[in-house]
Structure 1
Amino acid sequence: MPFDAWIALSVVIAVFPLMALTRIGPDMVLLGALVLLLTLGVIDSGDALAGFSNSGLFTVAFLYVLVASIRDTGGIDLIIRFVLGRPRTPGGARVRLLIPVAALSGFLNNTPVVAPYTPAVLSWSRRLRIPAHRLLMPLSFASILGGTITLFGTSTNLVVHGLLVERYPDLAMGLFDIALVGIPVAAVGLIYLLFIGHRLLPQRRDATQAFENPREYTIEMEVEPGGPLVEKTVEEAGLRHLQELFLVEIERGGNIVSVVGPGERLKAGDRLVFAGTSAAAVELQQIRGLVPSLHGDSSLEKDFKERRLVEAVVSDQCQFVGQRIRDGHFRTLYGAAVLAVCRGGERVAGNLGQVRLQPSDVLLLEARPPFIERHRQSRDFLLISQLNGAARPVHEKAWLAWSILLGVVGLATFGVMSMMNAAMLGALLVLVTGCCSVGAAKRGLDTQVLLTIAASFGLGAALESSGAAGILAGMALELAGGNPWLLLLGTYVLVALLTELVTNNAAAVIVFPVVMASAESLGVSPMPYVVAVMFAASASFLTPIGYQTNLMVYGPGGYRFGDYLRVGGLLNLLVAATALTLIPLFWGF
């Protein structure tokens, strides 16, 4: 094996555990690997930067803008309100949830579909008295299944198709070509989720239930009129650096002072809300001038326009993961106070300031109204949902945003324009018509995904140009015994396993040149292998970390890691069996 091939192979092998086992973002890992290969001379600058000019990458970017327009105009909220309704049975509720989600995911990225659905399903499940954990995991899985129906369904489909067109321009696929396999795969998966999958989930407690009684995690005191604390600042009163408590808000004269600063002056009759445990109330009772609040209702149960109660799911990319809440200065950075933390469906007990944050933790936050829009697209949080005083989205332009998206689909389907040109035109139209502001469009671009895709192209090019792809292809052919069907099975299994550990885009793009080299050596059509890569990269049901929507519902649903293996294991086998049976029928070897 040439020396360059050894280097390329070693770097690519090192990339996967780094992405799977460290908190370094996949985009940074892949870009670092790309810089290393470029520095060592394994690839030239043209190959290293080729991914940044790929049509699939740009199509994904323009679709993010289209999705942002539908989100900002309330287009998805309208559908949620229309389709959920009040079903009479749990089975009817699952039908109303899963089938529309799968259909939506065929044309929109899965994440912006699941994000608004999750809080809606939590409140809907309470009204219907159906445990939320029996709906949220199926919600994520249904969105993944729906993404296999069209090339627009996932960024991976578009990227793999972009690679195919670059290599074999005459093999370009239509928008709905993969529906020949995608619809049966989605149908089999949905039937399983509707009738079997939900039964395999043990009883779990969701995050909203863990937060439903504010008196379990807050203490309320009042400033005694005429007492020594009147007109003192929070700092002077000794309320700034309590051991196991911190001051969250002050209720004063029917209004609220949220995210209280150290210079805020206390007034007679102020109602102070502290986050902490009831055992820590002794510390407050020893402060002269504070008396227990005699009001019946908790302050957090009231609606104030000056504050919002928000649930936020911590991302694995959050800068505070592994840090204590107090040490990380969470409140200073975000302008939000942590009231409680839910992990695995249970509220984390003990000293709140000493809790070390973990990915998928659900935080109950008290924040000012701008917090939601400011951090909705933050990489630190997978999901932000408002619990009180939720503003209704403006729907006047929702029909226009949906019309533009359907127009894009029509132009691409009937071959009037390429998918990239149609998506580009659609992105321009939503900006011109005001369905999406320039700022919202920028926030809607998932730069981590885009950089991950672009860098993956460089690593794939390194495997090919160094000769490593050809050598690996030879090994694959030897293992498959020259049998094209066994090679198809091996391709599917390899990509499906990698996508559970690292990002699906990286798994697909890096494996692609090896698979193409194998098909060429075998002298068979590359198409069945291309389609297998698309479906295998989407078959992420075994772990919460394999796909972002799985991680989004992990905390709110109160799931355990093993729940995904229990429900997703059989679903993975059903999807694989259906796809591998049908792919050779429509795309022969």
Structure 2
Amino acid sequence: MDEILLVVILIGAVVLLATERLRADVVAMVVLCALVLLRILEPRQALSGFSNPATITVACMFILSAGLQASGVIHALADRLLKGSSASPTTVMLMTGVAIAPFSAFINNTAAVAIFLPLVLRASHSRSISPSYLMMPLSFFAMLGGTCTLIGTSTNIIVSSAAAEHGQPGFGMFEFSKLGLIVLLICGAYLMLIGRHILPERIKAETLTEGFHLNSYLSEVEVLDGSPLIGQTVVEARIGDAYNLEVLGHVRDKQMRNVMAGHGALLAGDILLVKAQAETLVGLGERAGLAVRPSRRHSDSDLRPGDTVLLEAVITNNSELEGRSLKAVDFRNNFGATALAIRRGGEDLLEKIGHVRLRLGDELLIQAPRQNLEKLRNQRAFLILQELDLPTLDVRKAVLSGSIIAGVVAVAAFGIYPIVSAAIAGAVLMVVTGCLNVRRVYREVDWVVIVLLGGLIPLGIALETTGAAADVADLILRLGGQMGPHVALGLFVLLTAVLTGAMSNNATAALLAPLAIQIAVVLDVDPRPFLVALTFAASAAFYTPIGYQTNLLVYGPGGYKFADYFRVGAPLTVLYVVLVTWLIPMFFPF
């Protein structure tokens, strides 16, 4: 009976994770509750995911990555490398891969892409290259780089921990580096030689106003004599709410100011720059005493007078804005900025954007007073992509944080201490040496991932203790006939690649680790090739934007549609699956 219940829970979890009906961490907690309430696991077993070495190590790696990031050294090195490249899109793509792959082998991939995003966008704009040519390769190179070391991605750590718990030796720091480098070079060659011809030009190398198609919604209106708005400021008059439009600028004596500063109370003859639909403008004369001026084509400079900046931003993981609308969070007052447009799935949303529920990867076009830049720089709800200066390089912190990470790598590589012990020590040193303050430590840990692992690792334990994993392994082998280990490995790699594209890489690794070991047991071969296959295939989410957080981060800035990932990523996934299936037995014999 337990086995049947467990299969139902497993199918339900996969469906919920794939359809995103609930957040991944919520799904993990639902699974955990079901395992306890149905008495499939004892509470001690059910809670063991939170004390699992993989969960602790992953949390520590977030802190180690943040320490290096805070020093500014990654920004400085990456910016110098990208500035030195030529104006050719192919060269910039190559330099992007050369820059991010080494970093993503040692720090969290999402953090690496978040650091590189503004720098690559700056490089693309300065060379008049469409961001669509560079954003997807940026994510893919980070994913490929993460497969080269044990700490390159959290899936490697999860699988290594699972191996140790089943009596297998954990992975060494550089145990699959040769394999990872070969896959990186071959897949990188695909991106450079074939992928670049398939990548669409969703966003042209143009101004932000043109890129977000704002011109058709921007108009100038003049305050007429006798207008009921005279004597009130733009904020006091609540023009936006009353007349269903957005006021973006207040012009007097040919000088434009942002709405929050303004020129004080409105006077007859003042001009307002507004974003509104044509039908909204028709009744303004009678209702508000405003006259629409002759239309002209507006540019970025109209939206960024001397005291105002125009910014692009992308909704990041763990954002307080995810699942909420701009109106619900009172965006203008809480963030001191105005959202002008939302880009999602290659489409620019311009109408009634205040009521749109935001998603991870959505890109916002924001107008803000220059005095609010520091506030925007320090918030955690979205990542600013432009306009802000690079973090100042702190040489002392760069040396300390770099030495700490190098020490963690060396201690784990030489087997002096397990990776979890080295990672904990490194995280503590980041705080003790002043590389990070305690408050930032708590901010930098991706708690969604931690809760996800805490809830799904026990599901893997239950699959094994109830015998469900053995039954699934038998089913896979029966479907393939009396196949040898090479065919079984290929089917397992394919299954993992399909699941990781629909769910997340961490969930896939946590669920399939017991299955990988059980398939090897049934075939009476060494489990290591199947475990290595899981680490690589769980990072094969090239064909969909939802399987890997880095894909979602570049979704909006690249202006991509969902199908673009399949068009570029599906051939890459096929190449990746074939390569991994062919190469793993050479490095890890059965």
User: How does the TM-score come out when normalised to structure 1?
Assistant: 0.88
CA contact (8 A) 1:107 1:152 kept: yes
Structure 1 residues 68, 319: closer, same or farther in 2, change over 3 A? Answer: closer
Using the alignment, how far apart are the partners of 2:401 and 2:508 within structure 1? Answer: 32
Answer yes or no: is 1:107 the counterpart of 2:106: yes
Aligned-residue sequence identity (percent) comes to 36
Structure 1 residues 520, 85: closer, same or farther in 2, change over 3 A? Answer: same
Name the SS for the 1:404 alignment partner.
helix
Of 469-478 and 490-499, more deviation after overlay is shown by 469-478
Using the alignment, how far apart are the partners of 2:461 and 2:276 within structure 1? Answer: 54
Match runs of 1:385-404 below 5 Å: 385-388=384-387, 390-396=388-394, 397-404=397-404
Give 1:392 shift: 3.2
Using the alignment, how far apart are the partners of 2:46 and 2:170 within structure 1? Answer: 24
| Equivalence for 1:138 | 137
Give 1:482 shift: 5.1
Structure 1 residues 533, 293: closer, same or farther in 2, change over 3 A? Answer: same
Using the alignment, how far apart are the partners of 2:423 and 2:251 within structure 1? Answer: 50
CA contact (8 A) 2:490 2:577 kept: no
Using the alignment, how far apart are the partners of 1:235 and 1:114 within structure 2? Answer: 38
Name the SS for the 1:241 alignment partner.
helix
CA contact (8 A) 1:105 1:147 kept: yes
- Tell me the alpha carbon deviations over residues 84-129 of structure 1, each in whole angstroms, 9 at most, x when there is no partner: 0243333322221112211111111111111122222222112222
List alignment gaps of at least 5 residues for structure 1: none
Using the alignment, how far apart are the partners of 1:33 and 1:490 within structure 2? Answer: 27
| Equivalence for 1:440 | 440
Structure 1 residues 166, 260: closer, same or farther in 2, change over 3 A? Answer: farther
| Equivalence for 1:63 | 61
Using the alignment, how far apart are the partners of 1:545 and 1:237 within structure 2? Answer: 43
RMSD between superposed Cα atoms in Å: 3.2
Name the SS for the 1:83 alignment partner.
helix
Using the alignment, how far apart are the partners of 1:32 and 1:463 within structure 2? Answer: 16
**One-letter amino acid of the counterpart of residue 105, structure 1:** S
Match runs of 1:12-161 below 5 Å: 12-88=10-86, 89-161=88-160
| Equivalence for 2:304 | 301
| Equivalence for 1:564 | 565
Of 111-120 and 312-321, more deviation after overlay is shown by 312-321
CA contact (8 A) 1:313 1:555 kept: yes
Give 1:346 shift: 4.5
Using the alignment, how far apart are the partners of 2:285 and 2:325 within structure 1? Answer: 26
Using the alignment, how far apart are the partners of 2:11 and 2:429 within structure 1? Answer: 43
Structure 1 residues 351, 241: closer, same or farther in 2, change over 3 A? Answer: same
Name the SS for the 1:365 alignment partner.
strand
User: How does the TM-score come out when normalised to structure 2?
Assistant: 0.88
Match runs of 1:210-289 below 5 Å: 211-212=209-210, 215-221=215-221, 229-234=229-234, 237=237, 239-248=239-248, 266-268=265-267, 272-277=272-277, 280-286=280-286, 287-288=288-289
Match runs of 1:508-547 below 5 Å: 508-547=509-548
| Equivalence for 2:470 | 470
Name the SS for the 2:417 alignment partner.
coil
Of 500-509 and 331-340, more deviation after overlay is shown by 331-340
| Equivalence for 1:369 | 373
Structure 1 residues 310, 235: closer, same or farther in 2, change over 3 A? Answer: closer
CA contact (8 A) 1:249 1:260 kept: no
Using the alignment, how far apart are the partners of 1:327 and 1:100 within structure 2? Answer: 39
Name the SS for the 2:47 alignment partner.
helix
Answer yes or no: is 1:489 the counterpart of 2:456: no
Using the alignment, how far apart are the partners of 2:128 and 2:365 within structure 1? Answer: 22
- Tell me the alpha carbon deviations over residues 301-329 of structure 1, each in whole angstroms, 9 at most, x when there is no partner: 2343xx65332334698777787755775
CA contact (8 A) 1:222 1:293 kept: no
CA contact (8 A) 2:501 2:543 kept: yes
**One-letter amino acid of the counterpart of residue 118, structure 2:** P
**One-letter amino acid of the counterpart of residue 95, structure 2:** R
**One-letter amino acid of the counterpart of residue 494, structure 1:** L
**One-letter amino acid of the counterpart of residue 101, structure 1:** I
- Tell me the alpha carbon deviations over residues 19-44 of structure 1, each in whole angstroms, 9 at most, x when there is no partner: 11134111111210110111010111
Using the alignment, how far apart are the partners of 1:333 and 1:18 within structure 2? Answer: 33
CA contact (8 A) 1:495 1:533 kept: yes
Using the alignment, how far apart are the partners of 1:344 and 1:34 within structure 2? Answer: 33
**One-letter amino acid of the counterpart of residue 90, structure 2:** G
Name the SS for the 1:309 alignment partner.
strand
Using the alignment, how far apart are the partners of 1:430 and 1:13 within structure 2? Answer: 41
**One-letter amino acid of the counterpart of residue 561, structure 1:** F
**One-letter amino acid of the counterpart of residue 300, structure 1:** L
**One-letter amino acid of the counterpart of residue 85, structure 2:** P
- Tell me the alpha carbon deviations over residues 165-198 of structure 1, each in whole angstroms, 9 at most, x when there is no partner: 12125x1221000113111111111111111111
Name the SS for the 1:196 alignment partner.
helix
Structure 1 residues 513, 252: closer, same or farther in 2, change over 3 A? Answer: farther
Of 575-584 and 202-211, more deviation after overlay is shown by 202-211
